Amino acid sequence: MTDHDTLLDGTKTAAAIRAEVAAEIAALRAAGVTPRLEVVLAGDDPASRVYVGAKAKACGELGIGSHTHELPAAVTRGELEELVDRLNADRDLDGILVQLPLPAGLDSHAVLDRIDPAKDVDGFHPHNVGLLQQGRPGPVPCTPAGVMELLRREGIEVAGRRAVVVGRSDIVGKPMAMMLLHAHATVTVCHSRTRDLAAVTRQAEILVVAAGRPALIGADHVAEGAVVVDVGVHRVDDLATVERLFPGNTRKLATFSSRGSVLAGDVDFTAVAPKAGRITPVPGGVGPLTIAMLMANTVRAARRRRGV
């Protein structure tokens, strides 16, 4: 079993962030302002529905006005852009989120580029990407922002340390590397063409993994005492794989027996945890932070837009 002090508890940190956001929302509502977030959900991707449902629930709990626009998988680019234009023009709306991935055949860049940068609570618009690159204030992607909050609140020093990011997506990998760089880490980015991945990741004092491959990172990839942040979330529904990834873990096996699946990350937790100085679990690590930071981004957008 992993020592409780080794775990980086994303659920606890997310709760602290949400409590701070709730206080900000109460102050805004007292001033006659109710932050509003609207989500565009196109198609019937099951994971997207779960994420959107969690976001709507968080809005309801914190007092953020919210609505989800559910569109069929056959929606056209023109119809999506028309909806985004209407949301941009709504002066009472603070945040617009287009849930990814979009149905096949739709250009996500074209749709995201159409969002008003001031309402881009995901931080994906090129304008906001440019602000992040320059280290200037603006909306930032929720998952890497959540990772930085976790490190900060857990007292993990970033400045001067060697950080390795596995994954180069626009959503996590690239902005994660940029935020670590702005925090004065020395940053290396790995990807599918990195030669001898384990040799590179073993250099990391802080290792952030967002590769999209279950259990990619094993004990050989990690230096003794490293801080390991696992961004990956995968539903594993094969018993043999569960037994391989979680040997002797009766709780995981019980969950599999009752639900037919368990969640796993990009890091082989059982193998890596004994070597790591600190490590995030899956679930209960980065996931809750993403939604907490979305709420924070929405409130910040409301304050900026309304000059509060």
User: Rounded to whole angstroms, what are the CA distances from 129 to 33, 121, 137, 275?
Assistant: 28, 12, 11, 35
CATH number, domain containing residue 46: 3.40.50.10860
Q: Which two tokens stand for residue 21?
A: 């956001």
Q: What is the pLDDT of residue 306?
A: 84
* Residues 161 and 277 placed together within one structural domain of the fold: yes
At 3, the pLDDT band (50, 70, 90 cuts) reads low
Residues forming the active site: 55, 99, 122
* Residues 106 and 146 placed together within one structural domain of the fold: no
Residue of 100, 88, 87, 2 lying closest to 42 (CA atoms):
100
Residue 247 pairs with which residues in a beta bridge? none
* Residues 105 and 190 placed together within one structural domain of the fold: no
Report the percent of the chain where pLDDT is more than 90: 90
* Residues 166 and 258 placed together within one structural domain of the fold: yes
165 found inside a domain: yes
Q: What is the pLDDT of residue 1?
A: 45
Residue 7 pairs with which residues in a beta bridge? 279
Write the pLDDT tens digit of every residue in 6-47. 999 999 999 999 999 999 999 999 999 999 999 999 999 888
* Residues 42 and 111 placed together within one structural domain of the fold: yes
214 found inside a domain: yes
Q: Which domain holds residue 147?
A: 141-286
302 found inside a domain: no
Residues with Cβ within 8 Å of 111's Cβ and at least 6 positions away in sequence, in order, are 77, 80, 81, 84, 98, 102
The owner of tokens 């094993």 is 218
* Residues 229 and 263 placed together within one structural domain of the fold: yes
Q: For residues 278 and 30, give the distance between their C-alpha atoms in angstroms, rounded to a whole number.
A: 40
Tell whether the model's pLDDT for residue 267 goes beyond 80.
Answer: yes
178 found inside a domain: yes
pTM: 0.94
* Residues 78 and 148 placed together within one structural domain of the fold: no
* Residues 246 and 158 placed together within one structural domain of the fold: yes
Report the percent of the chain where pLDDT is more than 70: 99
49 found inside a domain: yes
Q: What is the pLDDT of residue 249?
A: 87
134 found inside a domain: no
Write the pLDDT tens digit of every residue in 268-301. 999 999 999 999 999 999 999 999 999 999 999 9
Tell whether the model's pLDDT for residue 78 goes beyond 60.
Answer: yes
19 found inside a domain: no
124 found inside a domain: no
Write the pLDDT tens digit of every residue in 239-259. 999 998 888 888 889 999 999
* Residues 90 and 157 placed together within one structural domain of the fold: no
Q: For residues 58 and 53, give the distance between their C-alpha atoms in angstroms, rounded to a whole number.
A: 9
* Residues 98 and 173 placed together within one structural domain of the fold: no
Q: What is the pLDDT of residue 307?
A: 82
* Residues 160 and 268 placed together within one structural domain of the fold: yes
Q: Please state which of the ranges 85-94, 150-159, 182-191, 253-262 shows the lowest mean pLDDT.
A: 253-262
DSSP secondary structure letters along 109-172: HHHHTTS-GGGBTT--SHHHHHHHHTT-SS---HHHHHHHHHHHHTT---TT-EEEEE---TTT
Q: Please state which of the ranges 68-82, 204-218, 241-255, 276-290 shows the lowest mean pLDDT.
A: 241-255
Q: How far apart are the first and last CA of the chain?
A: 48
Write the pLDDT tens digit of every residue in 31-40. 999 999 999 9
Domain stop point among 116, 131, 163: 116
Tell whether the model's pLDDT for residue 265 goes beyond 60.
Answer: yes
Residue of 123, 119, 79 lying closest to 100 (CA atoms):
123
Q: What is the pLDDT of residue 285?
A: 96
Number of domains, the chain: 2
Q: For residues 6 and 2, give the distance between their C-alpha atoms in angstroms, rounded to a whole number.
A: 7
* Residues 46 and 174 placed together within one structural domain of the fold: no
